[in-house]
Amino acid sequence: MNEWISWLIRRRFLALVLGMGLLGLAGCQTTAELAALPTRAVAAVAPAGMVLIDGVPATWTPLPEHTPDPATNFNRLDPAGATPLPSVTPIFPSRTPRPPTATPTIAVPTRDPAEPYVAIIPTLPPTDALGPSKMGLHVIRNNDPNIMEFVRRGQPAVIKAVDDLGFLADVKEASPWTVTVGRIEVQGGPYYETDPEQSARDFVADQLESYRANPAVDYWEGYNEPDPNMNNMPWYARFEAERVRVMAQHGLRAAIGGFATGVPEYDEFALFVPAIAVAKEHRGILTLHEYGAPDMTYLYGDPLPGLPTYPDRGSLTFRYRWFYRDFLEPAGLVIPLVISEAGIDGIIGNRPGPDGLGWADFQDYWVQQGWGPDGTQSFINQLAWYDVGTRQDGYVIGFTIFTAGGFGYWKNYDINPILPQLADYVAGQR
């Protein structure tokens, strides 16, 4: 998440402009090619009105390319499980929060603030076509035995770790098919005034020792939640493309993008597509973040500025469908996607509901809205709704709930207290 979120829901009323050059981008990858394992049929649920996509595998899992050697992982935690302290000194994973007065209120044109917000609780009819859950964990530090217990019981689609990376070797041992995403916190950047290719080479060189020390990481993210805007998106696309190429030279795979909730804008993403083409060539993935507040369905079904309304897309959650359906699928550039942060973030401006930040602040409100009998179940019901939606899209590897191992500013986002219930849900979807 990023404090620099005053732009979070800013709307730019621009016409849809797709360069014909997109159709000439190299490479063609169908979602069928992404399926490494057969889909497992389960009893799952789908929101009413949500259109199911036929012929798309529900889960994409890359084949492992190596067996992690614990002896080369200098940050590895022993034994397989949680330890009292993280393997590295934890650094705040996203931002030092701004004072509330620094974030201006941004109008949302599709909502009338005079009308009270009433949550739309979806009806979830049963279906057996979606495959196992795509819910995973974002982990700031591995400080609770229930983190590894979640992995052992749930065999999750994806786990993401920030800085505290050593335990991912234990994740691979306990759940070999779990996809792992790692990120190393950096201070500052991107530096748009520099040469993008040289900046990318310097970025990889600075982190290469850590990459080599943690072979259990499948994909490495770069900068966290950049917002390049129209002026700087060409620079950022070149930076990410070069980062992919340089990492490939070292036998590593990149997760590009790392965009925050509500960005990039529709026309900005068009300028990022060249980086997608390079990532596809080198077996990279795309990552981005999706949050809602006061619940995860807020602004679901709302259009982006100047575009038609679709019932199964949103401007916050399921925003990624605009990018895939309108850009990547027509151009034959579908690459796997991880929503590497997901959940509740009350920092969203001009929203309804009570004051609050993380999920723990909204529990009473959700019960009043009818999401569930208590705060925990209300949150899990929202995550289940999001899970069902992502399982319709075969290119989605999974999403990671922000956050396990929360501390300090992130305490009200911390999901450690409900990890057993989350494990129950994920295990129950297999």
* Domain membership flag for residue 12: no
Confidence check: pLDDT of 290 > 70: yes
Confidence of residue 125 (pLDDT cuts 50, 70, 90): low
* CB of 147 closer than 8 Å to CB of 139: yes
Confidence of residue 83 (pLDDT cuts 50, 70, 90): very low
* CB of 47 closer than 8 Å to CB of 388: yes
Q: Give residues with Cβ within 8 angstroms of 100, minimum separation 6.
A: none
* Domain membership flag for residue 5: no
Q: What are phi and psi of 220, to 5 degrees?
A: -110, 125
300: which DSSP letter?
B
Whole-angstrom distance, CA of residue 294 vs CA of residue 291: 10
* Domain membership flag for residue 158: yes
Most confident of 34-48, 119-133, 225-239: 225-239
pLDDT tens for each residue of 161-216: 999 999 999 999 999 999 999 999 999 999 999 999 999 999 999 999 999 999 99
Whole-angstrom distance, CA of residue 123 vs CA of residue 131: 19
- Structure tokens that stand for 182 in this block: 């790692």
* Domain membership flag for residue 22: no
Confidence of residue 88 (pLDDT cuts 50, 70, 90): very low
* CB of 291 closer than 8 Å to CB of 29: no
- Structure tokens that stand for 278 in this block: 């390079």
Whole-angstrom distance, CA of residue 220 vs CA of residue 204: 10
Indicate the number of domains in the chain. 1
Which residue carries 């208590």 as its tokens?
374
Confidence of residue 1 (pLDDT cuts 50, 70, 90): low
Confidence check: pLDDT of 343 > 50: yes
Confidence check: pLDDT of 13 > 70: no
The lowest-confidence range among 37-51, 118-132, 236-250, 294-308 is 37-51
Nearest to 354 by CA among 11, 117, 100, 109: 117
Rounded to the nearest 10 degrees, what angle do helices 419-428 and 145-154 cross at? Answer: 10
Whole-angstrom distance, CA of residue 73 vs CA of residue 61: 23
Nearest to 305 by CA among 107, 105, 113, 19: 107
Confidence check: pLDDT of 127 > 50: yes
H/E element holding 138? strand 135-139
Whole-angstrom distance, CA of residue 44 vs CA of residue 425: 11
* Domain membership flag for residue 117: no
Report the pLDDT value the prediction gives residue 430, as an integer from 0 to 100.
Answer: 87
Q: DSSP H helical segments within 252-374, as ranges?
A: 266-281, 320-323, 329-331, 363-369
H/E element holding 377? helix 375-390
| Dihedral of alpha carbons 233, 237, 243, 244, sign | positive
Whole-angstrom distance, CA of residue 171 vs CA of residue 263: 31
Mean pLDDT of 286-294: 99
* Domain membership flag for residue 193: yes
Q: Using only C-alpha atoms, what is the Rg of the chain?
A: 20
Mean pLDDT of 328-352: 97
The whole-chain average pLDDT of the chain stands at: 81
* Domain membership flag for residue 264: yes
pLDDT tens for each residue of 55-82: 333 334 343 444 444 443 334 333 333 3
* Domain membership flag for residue 350: yes
pLDDT tens for each residue of 368-411: 999 999 999 999 999 999 999 999 999 999 999 999 999 999 99
Confidence check: pLDDT of 419 > 80: yes
Confidence check: pLDDT of 26 > 60: no
Report the pLDDT value the prediction gives residue 120, as an integer from 0 to 100.
Answer: 80
Confidence of residue 121 (pLDDT cuts 50, 70, 90): confident
- Structure tokens that stand for 207 in this block: 């982190």
Strand partners, 182: 161, 220
Confidence check: pLDDT of 250 > 50: yes
Nearest to 207 by CA among 234, 258, 246: 246
Whole-angstrom distance, CA of residue 249 vs CA of residue 238: 17
Q: What domain range includes position 152? A: 27-109+124-428
- Structure tokens that stand for 44 in this block: 């799952």
Share of the chain above pLDDT 70, in %: 72
Share of the chain above pLDDT 90, in %: 69
Report the pLDDT value the prediction gives residue 298, as an integer from 0 to 100.
Answer: 98
276: which DSSP letter?
H
The lowest-confidence range among 89-98, 118-127, 230-239 is 89-98
- We report the CATH number of the domain holding residue 158 as 3.20.20
Confidence check: pLDDT of 140 > 90: yes
* CB of 421 closer than 8 Å to CB of 380: yes
